[in-house]
Amino acid sequence: MDYSLTILGSGYTAKFLLPLAAPRYAQVFATSRDPDRHLSHLQPDQRIRFDLTRPETWQAIPPSTDILWCFPAVPIELVQRFADVASLRTRRLVVLGSTSAYDDRASTEYPPVWVDETADIDIVKPRVQGEEFLRTSYGAIVLRVAGIYGPGRNPVEWIRSGRVARSRKYVNLIHVEDLAATCLAALRQGAEHGIYNVSDGTPRTWEEICEAAERWWGVRSTAPPEPTQTGKRVSNKRMCELLNVDGTGLRHRDLFEVLEQLQKSSLNEAGPSR
């Protein structure tokens, strides 16, 4: 309880992380470009105005605090300058990346091979360059996060709106509550310079998910306009080991069970029709 935590870029994930972090830290701060507007649910002394593109806001970060970096680490020039000004080498630093860092453009195998933390990454991508800079030069722990879903982020609605289409492409997902727990585990137990894939460990095809959405909730899906890539199957073995060391575990392993809960919640929130 002697340490504080600062969440750089407090958005969807932070809302679920904050209640978990409060008992573990003496104080938890959250940043936003417009904190009074976007962080009104927090006490004023927890809100910090921070914008990576505005160096005059960098000094607002407390001098001795763990840091959870929640937005893409770009552009690299500003990431490098901020890391030096904020003395990130002296802090416990966890950076949220993406499983899109893994280079699968040339993959033709189906089902695709399993991807672990040793797989090749696409260093051409700007955010991957930023993440790797923070990891190799500042000891950051990088969490390569699959697609985040949960309350307010329902894959069934993605299908309904046409955001995703029926295809044989594999998708990897993680419930936001499990992501929040993994963030805390990484801050407490993660290995410096380490990489952890964050996924529920059960890749599904959009075809499977779309079929379930139509069968159970009558949600029709569209076909992709052209052949899609095979996608990835992301291994979460290291993440599960990290959670176990931290005294917890993966809570939401069954996507379809969670989707059923999310659909029921949506109906309850809508209330009776008039």
Domains identified in the chain, total number = 1
* pLDDT of 274 higher than 50: no
103/67: higher pLDDT: 67
Percentage, residues of the chain above pLDDT 90: 88
Question: For the chain, how big is the Rg over CA atoms in Å?
Answer: 19
> Residue 115: which domain range?
72-270
Please report the pLDDT score of residue 1 as a whole number: 53
Whether 189 maps to a domain, the answer reads yes
Res. 265 pLDDT band, cuts 50 70 90: confident
Please check whether residue 48 lies inside any domain of the structure: no
- Residue 269 confidence class, pLDDT cut points 50, 70, 90: low
On the question of pLDDT at 163 being above 70, the answer is yes
Task: Answer yes or no: is 54 within a domain.
Answer: no
Please report the pLDDT score of residue 144 as a whole number: 98
Residue type, 36: D
Q: Using one digit for the tens of pLDDT, what is the confidence trace for 104-122?
A: 765 678 999 999 999 999 9
Average pLDDT over residues 218-233: 87
Question: Rounded mean pLDDT of 32-59?
Answer: 96
What is the per-residue pLDDT across 8-27, written as a single tens digit (0 to 9) for each? 999 999 999 999 999 999 99
Where on the phi/psi map is residue 28: left (φ > 0), alpha (ψ -120 to 50), or beta?
Answer: beta
Tell me the sheet residues that pair with 173: 147
- Geometric angle at alpha carbon 268, from 267 and 274, rounded to 5°: 75
| pLDDT for residue 270 is more than 50 | no
- pLDDT of 200 > 90? The answer is yes
228 pLDDT tier (thresholds 50, 70, 90) = confident
CATH number at residue 233: 3.40.50.720
- For residue 41, is it within any domain? no
Report whether pLDDT(197) > 70.
yes
Mean pLDDT of the chain: 93
Confidence class of residue 272 from pLDDT cuts 50, 70 and 90? very low
| 184 belongs to a structural domain | yes
Tokens of 64: 């001795």
Check whether 267 has a pLDDT greater than 80: no
| Furthest C-alpha separation in the chain | 60
- In degrees, rounded to 5, the angle at the alpha carbon of residue 195 between the alpha carbons of residues 85 and 67 is 35
Res. 148: pLDDT tops 60 = yes
Instruction: Give the per-residue pLDDT at 271.
Output: 41
The owner of tokens 């390569």 is 144
In a domain, 17, yes or no: no
Asked whether residue 192 is domain-assigned, the answer is yes
84 part of a folded domain: yes
| Predicted pLDDT of residue 106 | 59
> The whole model's pTM is what?
0.95
